[in-house]
Amino acid sequence: MNIRPPYQMNNGNVVNSTSSEKLHEKVREVATNRADDEPNQLPSSDNELTIDFSYTQSPVTYSKEFFLNLDLSMIGLKRYGIHREHMGTDENGHIYKDTYGDFEGREKIDEFLAIFDRLDEEQKIKFSHFKPTEALLDVANRLTDEELGQLTDFIVESLTINLLDQKKDDYSTKLINKLSNMSDEVLQDTVKTMSKLMEQADNKVFAEPNLPAYLLDKDGHADFDLNVRGLGFFEDVNAYGDMNNQLLNDYAKFVIDNKFSDGDLLDLNAHLANSDFDTSRGMLDMATLVKANDRTTFIEMLNEVDTREPNNLFARLSKLNYENENTEYFRTDNREYVKFKGAPADDNEKSRLYNQLIKAYENQGLGWMNDVMEQSEGMPVRAELNMWLSILENVEENPDAFKRSDSVETWMERNLSGIVNDYYQGIKEKVFAHNEELDNFLNMSMLERIELDTIKLDEQTSTAE
């Protein structure tokens, strides 16, 4: 690959040798502008000097349009260039040392640079931000051009999950090292899965809910008298849009930390590649958090669940991760409107749930779990988490009570409404507590939940106003 961008001088050191007065004046001018040199310490025009210098050369030409769309430094990546250092002079002329990432010497560097010719222009820029290592060279040599491009795109997209958060983790080198240790079959299958997950992320639409007219101002924007947020600022920012690439981020970290056997990883990859976004998110989340001694059971359950069904177990579980699935709307007794943005379930909550689900699958079977899902369909996802934990605890304590065919239905009749009521009561207490802390608080004694898809409530409210 021919690389001819302009050189950038990084330093200049003055030492004794023979030089013309014009060159000497130029060196004095350069050194005077450097913060680490004092002009009065430079040699006089009678002294002899040479310049010892080094420079860094970019492996690609950077597109201005590309940086307008995505500045890779924002996601934790940095530029890697070919560093040339002047080592001295012998009878044949100047002697230089070239380094590029972990590589030293032109022969190895040129071998690595040949990879760039296999990528399109945008992918070349992305690839130049990955640290040049033997592992990356190995992975690139074992992939087709198409697969190499897919891997390059995946790594960058998987890092773009919250551009406002400055605490970025560039895991690209760790991921490449893990891929390098895979067999050819598992490597190629994993990159194929990455490509499928990117398609799912592209097809997933996270959108703000369609609010009824009485929740909008005259310009059509959401207008609430009180907003209560139960999650951090960056989580709030990350609730829409970038959540698509959260699936890619989760898969990258799963691969880095993967403890599954090659066979189990291939099974998981097959399901991920043939699922939709929500199902993949739920499967991957459970695969990441499930205990080591439950991995075999997890794969068995994975192979039994019909992941082609839109409302399957894993698709339902994925909603625990979404802020918009944990948002509720209320009306006060004074006809004011409140929005509560709840936090997604954390890893500890989900780990506890997944542990119980594994036990339920082992002891009760998937059919029983499907009955629970059918009886609880339409519940708020947070209340559904509490429901699962409650019923699974009851099953563990008294398995004989769940042997009848109508046992799940009977349990739901006794417990479901109470679980849902407790969920909403907990939110209301948080809203009341937040309201009391405000200088301009709302004067309210009650909160009535609003269902956005209830046309009757919309009509009644419009008429009343």
Same domain, 450 and 374: yes
Q: Cα angle at 232 between 230 and 238, to 5 degrees?
A: 110
Q: Tell me the per-residue pLDDT of 64-110, one tens digit each, with 9 for 90 and over.
A: 666 655 678 778 888 899 998 877 777 777 778 899 999 999 999 99
Does residue 187 sit within a domain? no
> For the chain, how many structural domains are there in total?
2
Per-residue burial over 286-303, b = 16 or more CB atoms within 10 Å of its CB, e = otherwise? bbbbbeeebbebbbebbe
| CA 396 to centroid of chain Cα atoms | 36
Same domain, 221 and 349: yes
Same domain, 71 and 150: yes
Q: Tell me the per-residue pLDDT of 186-199, one tens digit each, with 9 for 90 and over.
A: 999 999 999 999 99
Structural domain harbouring 235: 212-239+322-464
Same domain, 222 and 350: yes
Cα separation values, 251 from 98, 158, 234, 276, 281, Å: 36, 8, 21, 14, 9
Domain end residue (candidates: 164, 180, 196): 180
Does residue 151 sit within a domain? yes
**CB-based burial label for 248 (10 Å; 0-12, 13-18, 19+):** buried
Q: What integer is the mean pLDDT of 37-47?
A: 46
Same domain, 352 and 229: yes
Same domain, 79 and 220: no
Q: Give the separation between CA 247 and CA 297, rounded to whole angstroms.
A: 23
Q: Give the separation between CA 31 and CA 43, rounded to whole angstroms.
A: 11
* Amino acid found at 56: T
Same domain, 139 and 224: no
Q: What integer is the mean pLDDT of 370-397?
A: 91
Does residue 310 sit within a domain? no
Question: What 8-state DSSP symbol labels residue 300?
Answer: H
Helix (H) / strand (E) element for 80: namely: none
Residue of 417 and 399 predicted with greater confidence = 417
Strands 93-100 and 82-90: antiparallel
Residue 346 near residue 234, CB atoms below 8 Å: no
Does residue 15 sit within a domain? no
Same domain, 224 and 152: no
- pLDDT for 10: 44
Same domain, 460 and 364: yes
Same domain, 447 and 327: yes
239 pLDDT exceeds 60? no
Name which of 56, 120, 119, 102 is nearest 82 in CA terms.
Answer: 56
Does residue 287 sit within a domain? no
Q: Tell me the per-residue pLDDT of 15-39, one tens digit each, with 9 for 90 and over.
A: 433 444 555 555 555 555 544 444 4
Q: Give the separation between CA 226 and CA 438, rounded to whole angstroms.
A: 10
Helix axes 277-289, 243-257, angle to 10 degrees: 40
Q: Tell me the per-residue pLDDT of 419-433, one tens digit each, with 9 for 90 and over.
A: 999 999 999 999 999
Share above pLDDT 90 across residues of the chain, in percent, rounded to a whole number: 56
Q: Tell me the per-residue pLDDT of 199-216, one tens digit each, with 9 for 90 and over.
A: 999 999 887 788 888 889
Name which of 326, 324, 320, 343 is nearest 231 in CA terms.
Answer: 343
Same domain, 98 and 165: yes
Same domain, 108 and 216: no
Helix axes 243-257, 184-203, angle to 10 degrees: 160
Does residue 87 sit within a domain? yes
Q: Give the separation between CA 451 and CA 453, rounded to whole angstroms.
A: 6
357 pLDDT exceeds 70? yes
DSSP string, 365-383: -HHHHHHHHHHTTT--HHH
Does residue 1 sit within a domain? no
Name which of 125, 108, 31 is nearest 70 in CA terms.
Answer: 125
- pLDDT for 451: 85
